[in-house]
Amino acid sequence: MFVMTIDQRGSRRDIDRVEHLLAATSNAALVRPFERTAGDEVQAVADDAATVARLAVDVAADGHWSVGIGFGRVELPLPESTRAGRGPAFEHARDAVEVAKNRRIPIAVRGADPLWGRHAQTAARMLADVIARRSTAGTQAVDLMRTGISQTQAADRLGITPQAMSQRLRAAAWDIDDAAYALVADLLRTADNHTAKVIR
């Protein structure tokens, strides 16, 4: 199981962005949805590594959040409220978000298996770094491609030529996204599975 604890960066000098984050993640496949836990911090529980990989990387790359991922056991049955959850995964997520606050790429992974957790963290940071460096034009191009339309259709929507669209996607390193998200998910899944074997 995975717990994500996310805290807004520089909140004293910024607007409260929590409600926007809650709305943006409301349709995500989560066991327990993101819920404000205290101040400008939110927390969610997930059992799908692919969902965790995409949400955590994208939120960290946004630049406004520190993201902690904890993996491992949670106490069952889970309470209805995310913030009432207990178990090692919640504790690891708390440790992880504190580590993330002091990192250039603000995402950290913690759990009982430090080796696979470190591998997952490295892959997540590398992908988040690529995404964070994209220009506004590159981000718009990638966001359109994520909807499933063709490059030609995306170019039409942006009012640019297919060649210009191709150049934007190349500059944004769009071609690595699917494989990189899958890598992060595989490493998170492996870390969680190894932890389960140790507990048994």
Question: pLDDT-based confidence at 56, cuts 50/70/90?
Answer: very high
* Confidence at residue 199, expressed as pLDDT on a 0 to 100 scale: 43
CA distance 64 to 68: 14
Pairing relationship of beta strands 107-110 and 65-71 according to DSSP bridges: parallel
CA distance 87 to 104: 29
Residues 6+ apart with CB under 8 A from 10: 64
Q: Starting at the edge strand that comes first in sequence, how are the strands of the sheet with 32-38 ordered?
A: 32-38, 41-46, 2-8, 65-71, 107-110
Look-up of token digits 């997952």: 120
Mean model confidence pLDDT for the chain: 94
Across the range 71-88, mean pLDDT stands at 94
* Confidence at residue 200, expressed as pLDDT on a 0 to 100 scale: 38
Coil, strand or helix at 66? strand
Across the range 9-17, mean pLDDT stands at 84
* Confidence at residue 10, expressed as pLDDT on a 0 to 100 scale: 83
Provide the residue type at 131 as one letter.
I
- What is the tens place of the pLDDT at every residue in 148-191? 999 999 999 999 999 999 999 999 999 999 999 999 999 999 99
Question: pLDDT-based confidence at 103, cuts 50/70/90?
Answer: very high
> Does the structure show a pLDDT above 80 at 195?
no
Whole-model pTM? Answer: 0.92
Which of residues 143 and 14 earns the better pLDDT score? 143
Residue 162, CA distances (Å) to 61, 156, 174 in order: 27, 8, 15
Quote the percentage of the chain above a pLDDT of 90. 92
Q: What is the DSSP letter of 30?
A: -
> Using an 8 Å Cβ cutoff, are 135 and 171 in contact?
yes
Question: pLDDT-based confidence at 196, cuts 50/70/90?
Answer: low
CA distance 77 to 44: 15
